Structure 1
Amino acid sequence: MDRVRGISGTHTVQVPALKPISLVVHHGESVGVIGTNGSGKSTLMKILTGRVLPTTGNVYASSTPIMLGVNAALVQQLSGGDNITLGCLAMGMTKEQVAAKRQGIVELSGLEDSLHLPLRSYSSGMAARLQFAIATSVDPEILIIDEALNTGDAQFRNRTRRRLDTLRTEAGCVFLVSHSLATIKEMCSRTIWLEKGELIMDGDPEEVTSTYAVYAKKLGQSKPRGARLIREAKQRELAKTVVSWR
């Protein structure tokens, strides 16, 4: 909500972050979520995890989704190795399970030479890699990643791609929110485009990201009419698809 101060005092204005959206995501899918800033991406992810309750509608899930974000809580004073132990224990693992998972976490993070250092000395990219490795060690059935994979080198991207493939195969589904269209195309089997709280496209990552790139380019060139025509055309196509399903 935004508070607007007028002549007569303070008034509260409701600003909907999302308009009615209907989605069905199946086991084994990796869903990329794209859109400009303020389009409702993070709000949708918070609703899926239950951190924000929708004013209308419902979310049905086979298990509680796990949210992974760059700002996820880790203890800055502890070493990377101690954070692995603490993070795994916090997720319900036993000491024996932590010991069994540790090497895989270390290999996925690529931080073998830095685990003895305190987390406060890590770059944001290093911390993101450690958080991803810890969070995915429990094989969550539903994993939501909000901008956590936009850092790291090509080697780390290859490892995360393999890990996401394993999650989709052995667990459930993955949601990946990112401004990196290359990451979305590389790591996702399906992509949805949100804009101004509305669902614009839902389909093949190559097609959705290519259309979105043209839309974003027109916005960057100060051609709002051209961008609006693209958005409206794709909304009409999506509406026809929904009608045909029914």
Structure 2
Amino acid sequence: MVDDGRTPTVIADDLHIVYRVHGGGGRGTATAALRRMIRRQPSGRVREVHAVRGVSFVAYHGEAIGLIGTNGSGKSTLLRAIAGLLPAERGRVYTDGQPSLLGVNAALMNDLTGERNVILGGLAMGMTREQIKQRYQSIVDFSGINEKGDFISLPMRTYSSGMGARLRFSIAVAKDHDVLMIDEALATGDKKFQKRSEARIRELRSEAGTVFLVSHNNKSIRDTCDRVLWLEKGELIMDGPTEQVLKAYEEETGK
């Protein structure tokens, strides 16, 4: 499936994602749950949350696509489905290459030093030790965590949340990705780091990758993305050029 010579990287075809939450609400829920676990009793009713509802789109090589919407609109759920972390209830997701999902809460090992986490994070992304060695200093410099001391040699538990998020982002973008999905990563750090992040995303696009960015910062979306998907209550409201979609979103929500 090619449109004007472009190569598709992600196809969502009438995608539905449903979460099933077991157990009822009310007071004493934790105690009741423990009692059921001990007695091996079923948890009772199951509540369904229809998080993504019939979403369809095609993403192409070289695109940077912003995902916008109010809280609970299904943006992060959609990324997790594209990454293969959530099964489709109905419909399909097709990807060309290996999608990589970067979230601010992406797990590294808090008891290990930043240096060890750079190595482990690089290996987890499929980089060789030689590639990690070659890119190590640029990862540290990009993150900026050593600007106020030798923090890279300290355990990550000593980092602020912003420092940890910057290091995660720096590790993730050290590799060229077929499809890179970033969940709120640009919301962390100062303006200098955000500008470096936006520049790196533009580089990834030019290297024929596809980038998805979830952010509540419309300026980051404007500066980084050429296309925007607007989700509300799991439904795709609008898909089009960045300025056109953001203008409609801001008029509708006042954000």
Q: TM-score, normalised by structure 2?
A: 0.79
Higher share of residues assigned strand? 2
Structure 2 CA distance for aligned equivalents of residues 93 and 190 of structure 1: 30
Q: Which amino acid aligns with 2:240?
A: G
Give how far 1:81 is off.
1.7
Amino acid at match of 2:111: Q
Matched with 2:110 is 76
Deviates more, 1:65-74 or 1:208-217: 208-217
User: Which segments of 5 or more consecutive residues in structure 1 lack a partner in the other structure?
Assistant: 219-246
Distance 2:227 2:218 in 1: 12
Of 111-120 and 68-77, more deviation after overlay is shown by 111-120
Alignment of 1:212-227 (within 5 A): 212-217=249-254
CA distance in 2, matches of 1:203, 1:124: 34
Query: How far 1:13 moved relative to its partner?
Result: 3.9
Equivalent in the alignment of 2:245: 208
Separation in 1, partners of 2:24, 2:130? 57
The number of residue pairs the alignment matches comes to 216
Identity %: 49
Give the conservation status (yes or no) of the 8 Å contact 2:198–2:220.
no
* 1:186 and 2:186 correspond: no
State the Cα deviation string for residues 121-173 of structure 1 (Å, max 9, x = none). Answer: 11111111110110111211100011111011111111111111111111410
Q: Where do 5+ consecutive residues of structure 2 fail to align?
A: 1-19, 26-42
Q: Match for residue 34 of structure 1?
A: 68
Q: Deviations over 1:5-56 (max 9, x none)?
A: 59xx943343311111110000000000011111111111111011001111
- Corresponding residue to 1:148 among 167, 185, 196: 185
Report the equivalent of 1:87: 121
Are 1:166 and 2:203 matched, yes or no? Answer: yes
CA distance in 2: counterparts of 1:5 and 1:70, whole angstroms: 31
* TM, length-normalised to structure 1: 0.82
Q: State the superposition RMSD in angstroms.
A: 1.9
Give the equivalent residue in structure 1 for 2:135: 101
User: In structure 2, do the counterparts of structure 1 residues 106 and 5 end up closer, same or farther at CA, with 3 Å as the change threshold?
Assistant: closer
Looking at structure 1, the residues matched to 107 and 227 of structure 2 have their Cα atoms a distance apart, in angstroms, of 29
The CA deviation string for residues 95-116 of structure 1, in whole angstroms up to 9 with x for no partner, is 2211111122122211233212
Query: Given residue 74 of structure 2, which amino acid in structure 1 is its aligned partner?
Result: G
Q: Which of 156, 161, 179 pairs up with 1:119?
A: 156
